[in-house]
Amino acid sequence: MYQEYAWKKYNGKSLDELNKFAEEYKSFISDCKTERLCVAKSIELCKKAGFKDVKDVKELKAGDKVYAVNKNKNIAAFVIGDEPLTSGLAILGAHIDSPRMDLKQNPLYESETLAYFDTHYYGGIIKYQWVTIPLALYGVVVKKDGTSVSISIGDEENDPVVGITDLLPHLGAEKMQKVAAKVIEGEGLDLLIGSIPVADEEKDPSKKAILNLLKDKYGIEEEDFVSAEIEVVPAGKARDFGLDRSMIAGYGHDDRVCAYTSLMALLDTPKCKKTTCAVLVDKEEVGSIGATGAASKWFENTIAELISLTEDYSDLKLRKALTNSEMLSSDVSAALDPLYASVMERKNSAFIGKGICFNKYTGSRGKSGCNDAQPEFIAKLRKMMDENEVNYQTSELGKVDQGGGGTIAYILANYNMSVIDAGVPVLSMHAPMEIVSKVDVYEAYLAYKTFLKNA
């Protein structure tokens, strides 16, 4: 069902199922605004579906269900298939990091009796979108004794929120002359967090008050921020969007919408011919680097572990398993926004409501940095999607030379596996409030299940 609007397929029971899935997804992104929270929730979902931690397993056979976790920030779940691992896996790979601001290592300061947290933004954000909106703080503070304190402020009913102030228009004449990239500067993204000075303190009395509060509530000292990971994200839950409730507005659709649908597709698909996998990675928005990014050896090591639990291990077997694998790089696409249609080339654009979007290539300036999936693999996927009546579309990331971007596709393709980007079209990508269509979310879930079964 290529390039057709998907809504007309749904009515009665099928529409109820679609809406139920959308509700579950809404609570997932409302509750999981950091990588760590996504991993914790994914572990919970895996356990509920009968998956075991691979660390607790002595051997694996067809039908066994396991998951592996990396540093609390990546998870991969597997259903062992009938064929040996060397014949390759069917992999769904998504990222669970989203654009945001992070607290600096020395974040706290005071100015004119107002207390602030200084931040460094993470990923590609349009900075002016992040001021004068309610923000929440999530993360961990790890103390020298190794204990870890969880922080979560801003999303409970009675929680306070924090935020970044902006200049009043009355005094904005000079500022309004600036180009959009300079209206709010990176160093201007400082969070106002308090204003009550401690009575008997001369130097930085408001900062002192915040430190007292942090000590009382969390048992942390100023220096503990050195080993903390606190993320600043939009406060509030994901909501139905549109008078017809057809869409979902929320923070972090990129790429938790593909992470959730990929994980659920894996959990809901019984044993297949091939071993099936959903892997959720970190750091995509900053180049997939680091121990928890897609370029880390962790995923490869995990496959090695699986082989050693199913048969005698050899390096050649690992290479065969990876090279024979097929993967959907589950990541979002930019949907055509009629208000900004001029940056798109309409024949090769993704549309809200036409289902999962396949991106043969991303990249920029003549496809530089792209994965460019092989037509043989795409043909196989077309057949699968058509035979299973999944609505799908294809797109490029905007007009030629308009800009560009990348995903994790090329990194896994380095193993010589077949990989293509496939995900949900998004409006206002990377904004504090991104928008997806419920029907595209559900079609992505169906497409991922179809792929796992037929790879």
Question: Which amino acid is it at 393?
Answer: Q
Q: Which of 277, 362, 363 is nearest to 322 (CA)?
A: 277
Q: Helices 438-454 and 12-31, interaxial angle, to 10°?
A: 100
Site string for Mn ion, 232-271 (x = CB under 5 A): ----------------------xx----------------
Compute the distance between CA of residue 266 and CA of residue 70 in angstroms, rounded to an integer.
Answer: 19
The site for Mn ion, by CB under 5 A, has a size of: 3
Smallest distance from the beta carbon of 95 to Mn ion, in angstroms? 6
Q: Hey, how many other C-beta atoms are within 10 angstroms of the C-beta on 392?
A: 25
Smallest distance from the beta carbon of 54 to Mn ion, in angstroms? 26
Residue closer to Mn ion (CB basis): 204 or 331: 331
Smallest distance from the beta carbon of 362 to Mn ion, in angstroms? 10
Smallest distance from the beta carbon of 110 to Mn ion, in angstroms? 34
- Which residue in the set 110, 190, 204, 331 belongs to the binding site for Mn ion (CB under 5 A)? 331
Residue closer to Mn ion (CB basis): 340 or 416: 340
Compute the distance between CA of residue 112 and CA of residue 453 in angstroms, rounded to an integer.
Answer: 62
Q: Which 73-132 positions form the footprint of Mn ion (CB under 5 A)?
A: none
Q: Which of 85, 83, 77, 88 is nearest to 325 (CA)?
A: 88
Examine residue 326 and tell whether it contacts Mn ion (CB under 5 A): no
Q: Helices 253-267 and 35-48, interaxial angle, to 10°?
A: 10
Smallest distance from the beta carbon of 423 to Mn ion, in angstroms? 8
Residue closer to Mn ion (CB basis): 86 or 330: 330
Q: Which of 33, 29, 389, 427 is nearest to 246 (CA)?
A: 427
Residue closer to Mn ion (CB basis): 305 or 331: 331
Smallest distance from the beta carbon of 408 to Mn ion, in angstroms? 8
- The DSSP bridge pattern shows strands 89-95 and 135-142 to be unpaired
Residue closer to Mn ion (CB basis): 190 or 254: 254
Residue nearest to Mn ion (CB): 255
Examine residue 421 and tell whether it contacts Mn ion (CB under 5 A): no
Which residues pair with residue 275 across a beta bridge? 89
Span near Mn ion by CB under 5 A; candidates 46-54, 127-135, 244-252, 324-332: 324-332
Residue closer to Mn ion (CB basis): 331 or 440: 331
Residue closer to Mn ion (CB basis): 255 or 282: 255
Q: Which of 421, 425, 447, 422 is nearest to 344 (CA)?
A: 425
Going edge to edge, which strands form the sheet with 100-111?
148-153, 135-142, 228-234, 100-111, 114-122, 190-194
Positions in the binding site for Mn ion (CB under 5 A): 254-255, 331
